[in-house]
Structures are given as C-alpha cells and as structure tokens.
Copies of this chain bind each other. A is one copy, B any other.
Amino acid sequence: MFEPKFAERSKLLKPSSIRQMMAIAKELLAQGKTVYELNIGQPDIPCIPEFVDGIMRKAESRQINYTPYNGETYLRETYARYLNSYFDRRGVDHLVIDTENILVCAGASHCLSNIFLTICNPGDEVLTIEPFFSPYQGFLAIAGGVLKAIPTEAENDFALPSNEVIESYITEKTKAILINTPNNPSGRIMSYEELERLARLCVEHDIYLISDEVYREMIIGDEEAVSVLQIDLHDDELNEKLINRMIVVDSASKTFSLCGVRIGFVISLQPIVNTIALVNAHTVACISDIMQYGVASCYDAVMWRPEYIEEFRGIYRERLEATMEAIHRYLPKCIVSRPKGAFYVMIKFPELEDVNEFCHYTLEHFNMGGETVALTPAKNFYLDPKLGKNEVRIALVVSPEKMKRSIQIVSQSLKSYKRYKANIDSHMRQLL
C-alpha cells in the first residue's frame, strides 16, 4: 500500500472539534432528524437584505472580474468610512482609518493565516490568552508557527494576568500577542486598561499586537467593546511604535449574519498591509468581486441605519436571557458566567469528567421526542490539557424557545448519560 508523503505542517492539522460535530449533525439532519446546532456560530437569522441588492446589481452586469489583490477599492473605502463612523457615533477617540490601511481577505480566518505567513518563520511563537478560538492553532501551523497560551480563570472572570506572568511567556521566538475581544468562546470584553497594558508590553518587547475584533458589534451585555484602535499611550514616540506593531482583524460574517460570504479585513499601517496583501495574492490571487460588492452594500447600509445593529443585539439578548434562565432551571449544578459580547455561553458540568463523550452521546445516542442538540466540547479552546475538560460551548443561534428546548434536552441527556455510565461501571465491577 502506497503512502503519500506530506509536509510536516500538514501532519499537525486536524479538523476542528466544531467542524467534526458539524459533520455528524449534518448527517443526522440529512436523515430528517431535528438537531439544534448549537455547536457552530452560524446564526439562523436571515442576512441583512441590502446584501442581496448589492450582489444582484453586480451579478446582473454578468461581468464577474478579477479584483486588485488588496481588495476592491470601493469596498475598502466603504469599510474605512464605516469603521471611523463606528467610533464617531460612540464619541470615542480612535485612530482615523484610511482606505490604504485596509486589506480584503477571504474571511477573518484567511486574514489570520495570511498574517501568520507574513510575520512567522517556522518555529516562531505567537502568544494568545486561554480560552481562545481553537482554529488559531491550525492557522498558525500553516506558517510553521507555534501557539502558546496564557491561562486565565473563569472564577476570576478571565481577567488578564499581571505583566510579570505575561512576560514569563515571552521568549526570543515570540512574534506577536493575539487577542480576541469580545472573546469566542468566553464572551468576555477586554478592558481599556488591559488593552493598554498589552500594547505597552508589545512596544517594549518589539512584537506585534494582533487584535481579532470580529465580534466588536456583537454586544449582548450593557457595555461596548474596546478596540485596540482606541488606545492612546499619551506619548508620541510610543504611539508611533504601537501603530507600527498593531494589526486588527474584522469580518462581515457575524455583523451581517453572512458566515458564508467569506469576506474579512486586515487593518494596519503600510508597509504591513502591503506585505500581507502579497501573501494574500499568493494564496488566493484575489477575492470574489461579487461578494465584495455585496458586503460593501451592507457596511454602507448600517452607516445610514445603525438601528440594524441594535435589532441584531436585541435578538441575541433575548436568546441569552432565555438560555441563562433555562440553565439555572434545568442544569442547576452547572456553572455558567454571563457573556458580554459575541454569542456563545460556556457551561461547566462539575459532575462530568469528559464532556467530549457526553457531547457525542447527546448527539448520536440521545433524543427527546426525535430532537437532539449538537454541542462543542470546550477542551480545544485551551492548550492546557487539564483545562476545559468539563466545559461545553453553546452558540445562541436559534430562537429563545429553541434555546430553552435545547437546554431541556441537554438536561435529560445528562440524566440518561449518567445512568448509562453507571451501568457500564456496575458491569465492569461484575467483570472484575
């Protein structure tokens, strides 16, 4: 039997646990079963209608053309205007973003893999904060880089550790600190003080500060997110050094319920933007023109109709309320903290040793009136193998009623699973 030979990096890649669950759930759905897919951040909300108008206009021209490798100028202009208006509407100080600071990639994932390819040689390290969006590790592995994680604790509201702790993770190989605020999976928003502290550390250690802000608009608590674009170090030289080390990532996926559009943005200074653009050119050549026109219509629309974002937030807040209530009622032993941003809830099951098995049990062996739930085991959101073993992440991607029903199903599945485990245990004891 012939074994094809692959490069070292490809041996490190594996399907994310989110995507593995998605494959099983899709199979069950294809069989006609009802699965609440809380495993993936794919909202059921129809996309913003302006998107359809935007792509129709372009599609009807039947001229579907290559675009510049840094993105369609019209979209870059529109996005820069939108981003400035985001801050201006809130009356906060911010770096003023210009068209030349914007690069369009095929989604935020592609932004990150392009950034890592641009800044990391094989063996270089990127620091992130636990828990983190699990595919980061694979995006970095594409460039031969290694992800290191600074642990934070749910009990301490995932607060950023002291500078001493963070610095103990910085080595000569560290190229960047990568943060995600609002955070997937924890829903935490980093404070201005924390961001400023990280910014100073990045300047001092001459490393990049990469800020994944795809959930910036997705606020489900009562405070807005803070962007690294708002940081002021009150010293011209330090600010100059900071903006030369800062790379922001954004995406149209969550803001407009457009996960399948695959349009993301890198925001940085020259020559950083142009260097990442060259990697973009040599990974995908350029980005779909029709999707760029569709997304430009969306950003244009929310500048004129900011209440769209408020409606969106309202929908998620209702889902969060229903979910929190259901967890307290049906899963009283579980530990849960209220997320402030993004649209995920982390649930800790103190009774369980390995929620991975429980998630598979629920999806594949349990149903309640023909309905079941896909969950994401949280293990992969941590590098430390001791962490996240009894946590799951759920996404607020269905109606309040369905969220409540899902928690009920999980609760019943938990009882069934415990009986199943107890049976196996007693069977094992009989065998001994």
- Closest residue of B by beta carbon distance from A122: B122
Q: Tell whether, in the assembled complex, residue B275 and residue A288 are in contact, meaning their CB atoms are under 8 Å apart.
A: no
Cβ of A304 under 8 Å from chain B? no
Known: A68-B26, A283-B142. A14 touches B278 (CB 8 A): yes
Q: Is A272 an interface residue (CB 8 A)?
A: yes
A49 to B162 alpha-carbon distance, docked (Å): 60
B278 touches A10 (CB 8 A): yes
A24-41 to B contact mask, C-beta < 8 Å, 1/0: 001000000000000010
- Determine the chain B residues whose CB is within 8 A of the CB of A124 once the complex forms: 7
Minimum C-beta distance from A36 to chain B (A): 15
Contacts of A369 in B (CB 8 A): none
A408 lies within 8 A of chain B by Cβ: no
A183 and B302 alpha carbons, distance in the complex (Å): 46
Is B278 a contact of A15 with CB atoms below 8 Å?
Answer: yes
Contact A7 to B135, CB < 8 A, known contacts A13-B281, A55-B59, A288-B288: no
Is A205's CB within 8 Å of the partner chain B?
Answer: no
A309 part of interface (Cβ distance < 8 Å) = no
**Cα separation A244 to B6 with both chains bound (whole Å):** 12
Segment with Cβ contacts to B, from A75-83, A258-266, A353-361, A384-392: A258-266
CB pair A6–B119 under 8 Å, yes or no, is: yes
Residue of B nearest to A257 (CB): B64
Asked if A342 lies at the interface with its beta carbon under 8 angstroms from chain B, I say no
**Is there an interface contact between B259 and A287, defined as CB atoms closer than 8 Å?**
no
**A282-B138, A288-B261 in contact; A15/B69 too (CB < 8 A)?**
yes
- Are A121 and B65 neighbours in the complex by a CB distance under 8 Å? no
Contact of A46 among B62, B107, B287 (CB under 8 A): B62
Residues of chain B lying within 8 A (CB to CB) of residue A135:
281-282, 285
Interface pair B40/A62, CB less than 8 Å apart? no
Would you give the shortest CB distance from A354 to chain B, in whole angstroms?
A: 25
- Chain A 247-268, CB-CB to B under 8 Å as 1, else 0, gives 0000000000111111000000
Bound: A117/B284 CA distance, A: 13
**What total of chain A residues lie within 8 Å of the partner, measured CB to CB?**
84
Q: Which residues of B contact A23 (CB under 8 A)?
A: 68
CB pair A7–B143 under 8 Å, yes or no, is yes
Within 8 Å of chain B (Cβ to Cβ): is A147? no
| Alpha-carbon separation in the docked complex, A271 to B175 (Å) | 33
Q: A169 interface residue, CB < 8 Å from B? A: no
CB distance B144 to A117 under 8 Å?
Answer: no
Complex Cα spacing A202 to B69, Å? 34
Nearest chain B CB to A200's CB is how many angstroms away? 16
Distance in Å: Cβ of A393 to nearest Cβ of chain B: 16
Looking at the assembled complex, report how far the CB atom of A14 sits from the nearest CB atom of chain B, in whole angstroms.
Answer: 7
Q: Which residue of B lies closest to A121 (CB)?
A: B7
A13 vs B276: C-alpha distance when bound (angstroms): 10
Contact of A2 among B67, B244, B275 (CB under 8 A): B244
Residue A52 contacts which of B47, B60, B106, B117 (CB distance < 8 angstroms)?
B60
Min CB gap A368→B, angstroms: 26
Decide yes or no whether A329 CB sits under 8 A from chain B.
Answer: no
**Least Cβ distance of A301 to chain B in Å?**
14
Taking the closest CB of chain B, its distance from the CB of A210, in whole angstroms, is 13
Tell me whether A19 and B241 are in contact in the complex, defined as CB-CB below 8 angstroms, given that A13-B282, A106-B106, A259-B64 are known contacts: no
Give chain B nearest CB distance to A202 CB in angstroms.
Answer: 12
Return A187 CB to nearest CB of chain B, in Å.
20
- Residues 37-95 of A contacting B (Cβ, < 8 Å): 40, 42, 46-47, 49, 51-52, 55-56, 59-69
State A288–B240 Cα separation when bound (angstroms).
37
The reply to whether A109 and B285 form a contact with Cβ atoms under 8 Å apart is: yes
In the assembled complex, 26 residue pairs joining A and B whose CB atoms fall closer than 8 Å, in A order, are: A4-B244, A6-B118, A6-B275, A7-B118, A7-B143, A13-B282, A14-B278, A22-B66, A42-B66, A51-B59, A52-B62, A55-B55, A56-B59, A64-B257, A64-B259, A65-B260, A106-B106, A109-B284, A122-B144, A138-B278, A138-B282, A139-B282, A260-B289, A262-B286, A290-B291, A291-B291
Across the A-B interface, the 4 shortest Cβ-Cβ residue pairs: A46-B62, A260-B289, A109-B285, A138-B282
